[in-house]
Amino acid sequence: MCDLADSPAVRRLTDWDASTLESLAAEYETPLYVIDLDRVAENYARFSTAFPDAEVMYAAKAHTGKAVLETILETGGDIECAAWGELQRSIDAGADPNTLQYTAVNPPDHDLDYATDLATDHPGLTITIGAIDTLERLADRGYDGRIAIRVNPGIGTGHHEKVATGADAKFGIPYERVPDVADRVRDGFDLVGLHAHAGSGVLTDGIEEHCRAIERVGAMARRVGDLEFVDVGGGFGVPYREDEKPLDLERTAEMVRDAVGEIDATLKLEPGRYVVADAGVILTEVNTIKEAPDTTVVGVDASLATMIRPAMFGSYHPMLNVSVPEREPHPVTVGGPVCTSADVFAHDRPIARPEREDVIAIGNAGSYGYELASQFHSQPRPGEVALEDGGHRIVRRRETLDDVTRVEQ
């Protein structure tokens, strides 16, 4: 376990060493992802310490880079996966397949084939279902192993309507149907748990509503009975804006335990964003300065293909001119080279007045950053550098155009 004495609950962008980031940009070119593996370990350890009696699984979808998964495993953590590729990447990183949990959401045939084949030799694998169809398809494949039921609690929480999964019919078995589905599972499978995930990016102000969803899951667990675990998912947020306070983790842990109530089962949680968000930044170089009537446009080489969260969710990410952080701030609009008005990271954001070839850091890019990167406009995806033990190493090389076109016939 990491020593948390010097590990703050939140890492602001200004806490990163600007000169180190600028030197990494010079050495590896931009746009560039940087992930601090020591911070990943610290965040996971802090979360686990707050829930000492629970099993804390890292939600791989937040960042599936091999170096991150290896770091989680080295801290003693387990991994929750939402697709077959995440299962395989977790195994490649050293995970015991018997410890993995696969949360199937409308799974393609290939995913179920992979999972059931994997369970043949590794019966400890748990498959979470969110539809009766999935149960029938598992039975058709001869699977009779460990099953968890995903409960739809009817309450969605989080930073955006697109992540409020707890009230979305796409996710989980409708609440009142769960007991009947549990009976059906027990007829042909090993029912080991209930699972739910209310939403993502929840901070202290939203934790009460989040716990209302967890309360319903705890009540259903007592109603169904005889379970190995109750998994209340993740969704625990980090402050993206400079004036937002970090999650009061100790208070949150107390509220979650109270919400679940007395259960004769292990409590499971699946933090993803909390573990990796503030451990990552994007470095991007300024290439264009344009004075427009209503704003100063700053063009950079990162784009929505590098990180789509601002375009998809309207997300705020802190920004810092690491080349000259002491220069007088100036409100600017920062956008990339993609041909759409959605390709903007910030409007009228006060930043130390950028000039061409300055390097700007975009903070809190460790979660759902590289995971959602694309090759739009035939842009090769960026490289990624990991910081660890006072040094750094390349953990993902920058793609080339050959990588972009390699699959074409």
Annotated binding site for pyridoxal 5'-phosphate: 235, 270-273, 368
Q: What pLDDT digit, counting tens, does each position of 271-292 carry?
A: 999 999 999 999 999 999 999 9
pLDDT of residue 10: 87
User: Is residue 211 predicted with pLDDT exceeding 90?
Assistant: no
* Domains, the chain, with CATH or none: 96-271 (3.20.20.10), 278-405 (2.40.37.10)
pLDDT of residue 155: 67
- The b-or-e profile of 169-185 (16+ CB within 10 A means b, else e) is eebbbebeebeebbeeb
Question: How far apart are the C-alpha atoms of 16 and 36, rounded to whole Å?
Answer: 10
pLDDT of residue 168: 57
Q: Is the pTM of this model over 0.85?
A: yes
Average pLDDT score over residue span 11-24: 96
Comparison of pLDDT for 405 and 211, the residue scoring more: 405
Average pLDDT score over residue span 256-269: 95
Residue 70 exposure: Cα atoms within 13 Å on the Cβ side: 11
Which residue out of 2, 81, 211, 339 is catalytically annotated? 339
pLDDT of residue 93: 98
292: Cα separation from own chain's centroid? 37
Q: Is 81 one of the annotated active-site residues of the chain?
A: no
Question: How far apart are the C-alpha atoms of 91 and 307, rounded to whole Å?
Answer: 26
Average pLDDT score over residue span 174-185: 95
Average pLDDT score over residue span 202-206: 73
User: Is residue 75 predicted with pLDDT exceeding 90?
Assistant: yes
Close Cβ partners of 97 (under 8 Å, ≥ 6 residues apart): 87, 91, 118, 121, 122, 124, 125
pLDDT of residue 169: 67
Assess contact for 155 and 197: CB atoms under 8 A.
no
Torsion angle (degrees, nearest 10) of CA 262, 237, 368, 310: 140
Annotated binding site for substrate: 273, 309, 368
* pLDDT level of residue 235 (50, 70, 90 thresholds): confident
What phi, psi does 91 have (nearest 5°)?
-65, -45
Give just the sign of the alpha carbon dihedral 32, 349, 7, 60: negative
- Return mean pLDDT, the chain: 92
Annotated binding site: 235, 270-273, 309, 368
Q: What pLDDT digit, counting tens, does each position of 36-49 carry?
A: 999 999 999 999 99
Comparison of pLDDT for 25 and 7, the residue scoring more: 25
